[in-house]
Structure formats: structure tokens, C-alpha cells
Chains A and B, each alone.
Chain A
Amino acid sequence: MSSRIPLPYSPKVLELFRNPKNLGRMEDANAVATAGSLACGDMITIYLKIDDQRERIIDASFESYGCAANIATASLLTEMIKGMTLRDAWNISWKQLSDELGGLPPIKYHCGVLAVGALRRAIRAYYKDRAKPDWLPDELTPDERHALEEEELMKILAKRISEGGRNSH
């Protein structure tokens, strides 16, 4: 692969950035979760409205603080999961999102990771006070750990700045 950077966005990313679907806070959501942070420069909040009987996603929406890829990824993901069972939604990977978007540039893979991280957190949040299904693993999945690692890394960097101790003096 060429080492030339940055690799371009696909027209689909631009289109979804321009006209994102499922945008905004959902007041009657029964599962909400956020991944990323302002310090990361990328943050996605996913709202889910779930049919309790069938454990199916009736509606999904998002809010995003982040780059064009972040907004496009969140738009795509929320569109994909509407009508899905929680189990199927759980199995969506960041790679799937990237492929659907015509291939995210490598430097933007983390946008997919954060979107999936937020969705899985929302699903875990939903089952917090309910009987946990067999398909939901106890341990964090690699994608969830990846999202967590990104957040942790940013906390460390931000702390270093606030202490004014970066670089050698």
C-alpha cells in the first residue's frame, strides 16, 4: 500500500457528513452510551430505543463531536442497526463500517472503533439491570478495549499537558 498520506475520504463519507441521518438526542431512549471524549477530539453518543419483548432496536440516533469521518460513521451505524436484534447489532465490527463507507483512511479507523465502542457500551448499559443473554460476553471485546485504550491514552496525554511537563526542558 502507498505510504502517501492522507488517503482521501470516499464520496460516501462526504455525503453522510453533508446529510447525516438519525441526528440528535433521543428523549425516550432506553439505552444511551458515549465513547471517546472532547480531549480525544472524537466523541460519539449513541441513543437506542429498544423493543423490550423482542430485544430489537426500534430507533437509533447519535450526537457527534468529531471529524467528518466520525459523523459519517455514526450516521451509517445508526442507520444499519435500526430494526436489528441487539445480538446482530452487537456483532457489527468497525471493519464492516469502514467497508460500507468505501474504506476509511487508516488514520480514521478509530472513528469506526469509537462508533462500535459506543454501540456496544449502549447494549451493555441496556442489559445492566436485565438478565444478561448468553451471547453477551463478560469480558470486553477487542473493539471495546480498543475504544477504551484510545480514551485512556488521551487522558494520559491531556494530564501531561495540564501538568506542563511535556517535552524536555
Chain B
Amino acid sequence: MAGGGLREDLLEQLEKVRSLVKAHGSPHREVYLDLENSGLVFEEALVALHEAYKIHGNPSITHRPGWRALEAILEAELGLMDLIGVDNGEVVFTHSGTEANNLAVMGLARASCGRRKIIVSQIEHLSVKFPAERLQEHGFKLVEIPVDEEGFIDLDYLAGQVDDDTLMVSVAAVNHEIGVIQDLRAIAEIVKDKSPGAIIHTDACDALGRIPLDLESAGVDIASFSGHKIFAPKGVGALYVKEGLKLEPILHGQLSSQRLWPGAENIPAIAGFARALELFRKNFDEYRSRMRRLRDMLIDGIFERVDDVVLNGPKGDMRAPDNVNMSFLYCEGEALTVELSLRGVYVSSGSACTSRTLEPSHVLLAIKRPYEVAHGSILMKVSPMHDEDDIKYVLEQVPEAVKRLRAISPRVVM
């Protein structure tokens, strides 16, 4: 084998990251709040995952293990339908929310017979925004709906844009970064009133289990979901598609049990997803009130302990019960994530330094946060698995971490 190249590079990176983990050390206490990027997992969902690994079967094949795999898929499908308020249509299992969003946007565009306008909000997840942008290269027109400073979409602007050329309108029920809850019913009414044939898609990855969803009566046609956002094992997403709606597959390959997403279904993760859905269905009110209590304890606690802090997104009932997004002025977010990591508190940031480009979070810029405020943003999400002691620990660490970084920062006036 020739030396150098990729192999050598990977070995070097591996060595580096191993030493980095070692140098970081294990904090005496850890609180994981970076649920935006990778979830915690319910113990019971893990048990379901382990059990389902013993099934082995592929649901398309006619033997006992295949039928058992099919049983697992149908249970998850029914569980999802129960939680989102639909009785008809189909559920397609993907391997992530990103895949579900791509399937929605690209699959609709491929099936379109004439309509060319795609309308999305300015704060959509990149897995909606980027496919929609790419479709411009194929003759589609992209319109972005602005949002106000709390993140609510401009309904008048939307009404002015929807016409009989509109293929789809995509607005997340709950924004992944700032937790703003949109009025899906009002959006659907406006869209259907202007053009009954326009399709409503919602990225509901952050809405599932956080707000009551009644998609059928709200007039939503397609909705995307992500397993890890409800503490199922990673590696499963889903797309609900209303009955009679035409979507074309965007992947092609071995026939699976589902026309729209070929390839072997991740049965163990789907079984774990089913279990997480069941837990959310049974304990919906309890989980919500617990998350809301912890969320408010965290937000109020930070405001009490740290000066020059801004809450990104709305307050109170129009904010997802799990979402805390705050900007710490005079602090750079990436440095804060590293500083907090050393203290065992795991969060993410909308700072440019955490992205591949020089630009900070497009969501924070859309709500008119200046660059320096966006750079200092920290995103934390709470779960039903967290408790008051976790939040107390975070409230001890955050002020200390901010204090240290501010002491390093040049004394400038923003």
C-alpha cells in the first residue's frame, strides 16, 4: 500500500482527537444540553432497539423475520400517526430528519407538473433551505418569507406571495434554533385560500412531543420528523405524506417496503422510535410541563446571574418548552462552548466559528441580531430526562465561564 495521502491524514487526525479527548479529561459532573445536534436517548427506547436487533428480518421479504420487521414498522407508523393527529396518508421512514426534509422538497419538485414557486421562511433548517436553493438551478423560483424579531413569519408577506404558480410552502412548526412556534393553521388557511393546489410542508422535527400536533385538521400536507429529537436512537427520521399527494422518490435502489425511500430500513432504530413515541404519547403533559419548568429555571437563572444577555426567540407560551437560546455579549460562542465543555456542560453556538463559512447562524441574522450578538449565542435544550439539579449545576457554571471569557476580551463598547 502506498504511504501518505488519506490514510496518513486520517491516522494523524485520529491521534489528534484521541489526545484532545484525553487532554480535556472527564469533568466530575456532566450535563448534556446540545440536544439540537445529537439527542439523549430514553433507556426504554434503547431496550427496544436492542430487542429489535434480534429480529434480523427485512420487512419486504416473505418470511417470519421479515414479518416481524414489518410489525415493528407498522407499530412505529401508528405511534407517529397518533401523536401528530392523522388518520390517513402514509409515513415514510428515512434515516434522519435531514433526509425527510430533502425528500419533501426535492420529491415534490420532481413530481410537480407546472408549478415552479417554492416558498420557505427565512429561518428554515438548512435541510429545507439548501435543497430549495438548489432547485433554483432547475428552473424553480425561491421566495423567502421574512420573520419579525421574535421569529414569527410575516403572514401578510406570505399572502402576497402565494399564487397559482406556488408548488409548496414550507414553514417549521417549531424553529430548531430559537424555538418560535408558528401558527400552522393560519399559514395553511392563507395558502389554501390563495391557491388550493399549493402544498404545505412543515419541518416538525422540533415540534414533535413539544407542542400538540393536529396536522390533518391544521391543513398540513407533508411533515418531517426526527427520531433523536424525541430521544429515540439516532438513525431514524420520518416523513408523513397526506393521502393522494404525489411525491417522486429522490433515491433509487433495491425495492424496500416503502416506495419513497429505498434501501434497508433501520428496523432497530424504528423500534426505538416507536417506544419513544409511545412514551411521549403517554406522558405528553407531564413531559411538557417538566421541560417548561426547567427551561424557565434556566432562562430566569441566567438573567439573574449574568449581565448583558439577550434571549433569542419569543418568551412564554409561544416558545418551545425545551428551547433556551441566549446571546452573551462580549463573549464568542465557540470559545464558550469549549469553556463550558471543560466544565462538563455541553451546548452549541450559532457563532460563525462553529460553522463552515464566515457567517453566523442564518436564523439569528434573520431575526435581525447583529453579528456580534449572533457570535455570542448559545443554544441549550432541556429534556424530560433532566432535573433541577442539572439546571442548578449549569447555572453555577455558565456565569463563571462567561466571566472568564469576558476577562480575556478587549474592553470594547458594542
The smallest C-beta distance from A22 to any residue of chain B, in angstroms, reads 11
Give complex CA distance A34, B410 in Å: 9
The smallest C-beta distance from B327 to any residue of chain A, in angstroms, reads 12
Residues of chain A within 8 A (CB-CB) of B157 are 169
B342 within 8 A of A: yes
Interface 9-residue window, one of A91-99, A130-138, A159-167: A159-167
A63 within 8 A of B: yes
Contact B409 A63 (CB under 8 A): yes
Contact B358 A65 (CB under 8 A): no
The smallest C-beta distance from A15 to any residue of chain B, in angstroms, reads 6
Known: A2-B13, A168-B143. A65 touches B23 (CB 8 A): no
A14 within 8 A of B: yes
Contact B335 A2 (CB under 8 A): no
Encoded as 1 (CB less than 8 Å from any A CB) or 0, chain B from 1 to 43 comes to 0000010011001001101101110000000000000000000
Encoded as 1 (CB less than 8 Å from any A CB) or 0, chain B from 317 to 341 comes to 0000000000000111111001100
A113 within 8 A of B: no
12 A-B pairs besides A20-B408, A169-B157 with CB distance below 8 A are A1-B6, A2-B9, A14-B338, A38-B371, A38-B375, A63-B411, A64-B409, A65-B331, A67-B353, A107-B356, A161-B370, A164-B368
Enumerate the 4 nearest inter-chain pairs by beta-carbon distance, A residue then B residue, closest first: A11-B23, A38-B372, A67-B334, A41-B375
Binding site for B on A (CB under 8 A): 1-2, 4-11, 14-15, 17-18, 20, 23, 25, 34, 38-43, 45, 63-71, 102-103, 107-108, 150, 153-154, 157-158, 161-162, 164, 166-169
Contact A2 B23 (CB under 8 A): no
Give complex CA distance A41, B370 in Å: 11
Contact A66 B335 (CB under 8 A): yes
Number of A-B contacts (CB under 8 A): 126
Contact B353 A41 (CB under 8 A): yes
Give complex CA distance A18, B142 in Å: 45
The smallest C-beta distance from B161 to any residue of chain A, in angstroms, reads 9
Query: Nearest CB to that of A167 among chain B residues?
Result: B144
Contact A8 B9 (CB under 8 A): no
Contact B356 A17 (CB under 8 A): no
Contact B17 A38 (CB under 8 A): no
Residues of chain A within 8 A (CB-CB) of B272 are none
Residues of chain B within 8 A (CB-CB) of A11 are 16, 19-20, 22-23
Size category of the B interface is 35 or more
Residues of chain B within 8 A (CB-CB) of A107 are 356
Residues of chain A within 8 A (CB-CB) of B412 are 38, 43, 65
Contact A66 B19 (CB under 8 A): no
For chain B, residues 336 to 392, give those with C-beta under 8 angstroms from any C-beta of chain A. 338-339, 342, 351-353, 356, 358-360, 365, 368, 370-372, 375
Query: Nearest CB to that of B161 among chain A residues?
Result: A169
The smallest C-beta distance from A104 to any residue of chain B, in angstroms, reads 11
Which of A66, A150, A169 is within 8 Å of B353, CB to CB?
Answer: A66
The smallest C-beta distance from B310 to any residue of chain A, in angstroms, reads 14
B263 within 8 A of A: no
The smallest C-beta distance from A110 to any residue of chain B, in angstroms, reads 8
Contact A169 B144 (CB under 8 A): yes
Residues of chain A within 8 A (CB-CB) of B408 are 20, 23, 63-65, 71
Residues of chain B within 8 A (CB-CB) of A38 are 371-372, 375, 412, 414
Contact A63 B371 (CB under 8 A): no
Give complex CA distance A40, B372 in Å: 8
Give complex CA distance A6, B37 in Å: 14
Give complex CA distance A40, B10 in Å: 31
Query: Nearest CB to that of A102 among chain B residues?
Result: B16
Contact A10 B20 (CB under 8 A): yes
Query: Nearest CB to that of A158 among chain B residues?
Result: B371
A-B contact pairs, 9 of them (CB 8 A): A2-B10, A10-B19, A11-B19, A40-B352, A41-B334, A63-B409, A103-B16, A168-B143, A169-B157
Which of A1, A68, A168 is within 8 Å of B334, CB to CB?
Answer: A68
B226 within 8 A of A: no
Residues of chain B within 8 A (CB-CB) of A103 are 16
Give complex CA distance A21, B9 in Å: 31
B146 within 8 A of A: yes
Give complex CA distance A69, B17 in Å: 15
Query: Nearest CB to that of B409 among chain A residues?
Result: A65
B58 within 8 A of A: no
Contact B358 A153 (CB under 8 A): yes
Residues of chain B within 8 A (CB-CB) of A63 are 408-411
Give complex CA distance A103, B16 in Å: 10
Which of B142, B360, B370 is within 8 Å of A162, CB to CB?
Answer: B370
Give complex CA distance A9, B354 in Å: 13
Contact A5 B24 (CB under 8 A): no
Which of B143, B342, B371, B410 is within 8 Å of A65, CB to CB?
Answer: B410
Residues of chain B within 8 A (CB-CB) of A65 are 330-332, 408-410, 412
Give complex CA distance A64, B331 in Å: 10
Give complex CA distance A89, B207 in Å: 55
Give complex CA distance A118, B368 in Å: 30
Give complex CA distance A161, B17 in Å: 36
Contact B23 A71 (CB under 8 A): no
Residues of chain B within 8 A (CB-CB) of A1 are 6, 9
Contact A39 B370 (CB under 8 A): yes
Residues of chain B within 8 A (CB-CB) of A70 are 332, 335
